[in-house]
Amino acid sequence: MWNPCFFYDRRNTAELAGWERKFHIWTSYARGTAERPGLGLCLEAGQGSCKGVAFRLLSGHEERDWHALWRREMTTGIYQAVWCEAEVEGNGAVPVLTFVVDRDHRQYAGPMETDLMARIIAGAAGKYGTCRDYLANTIREMRALGVTDPELASLLNAVDHREALSGGPSDG
């Protein structure tokens, strides 16, 4: 939502029914390392819905942007590209391409207790920065869209609490 790797001419708030945003994948590159993997967000099938952003690629840049998006999201195979129908603000029901988690993939971490996720996130950093900043940036972008996610807010509080008690990013 907050760091697209492509050019776009429209950006609208959107909601996907039947999909939920979760910190359920291991990352050993973007927000972690092989020695200290972090957790990343994914979409997975669920009972709720996920509010976020739908982008429309800028005309004339589609091929380059599809390649950039595919390279970023599909490198390890943790995601499956799926066409869904989203309720897009100002446009109603629209077909959108999204990337959903493959629960059979080796990077799928699955559900965990908040305290364990907080410990992992507080101690992980990779090529694109810390897991904590990734979580905070996601929450900030969601707030700008008028979207709240109590689970993510609780997780950030747990991460910050761990870091406050230890005097900085956690060592685990």
Q: Residues 126-159: pLDDT tens digits?
A: 999 999 999 999 999 999 989 999 999 999 999 9
Q: Is residue 3 part of a domain?
A: no
Query: Burial level of 76, CB count in 10 A (0-12/13-18/19+)?
Result: middle
Its domain, for residue 22, covers 8-166
pLDDT tens-digit readout, 58-80: 889 888 888 888 888 888 999 99
Q: Is residue 52 part of a domain?
A: yes
- Candidate from 24-28, 33-37, 66-70 with smallest mean pLDDT: 66-70
Distance CA 108, CA 26 (A): 6
Mean pLDDT of 33-55: 95
Mean pLDDT of 2-17: 83
Number of domains in the chain: 1
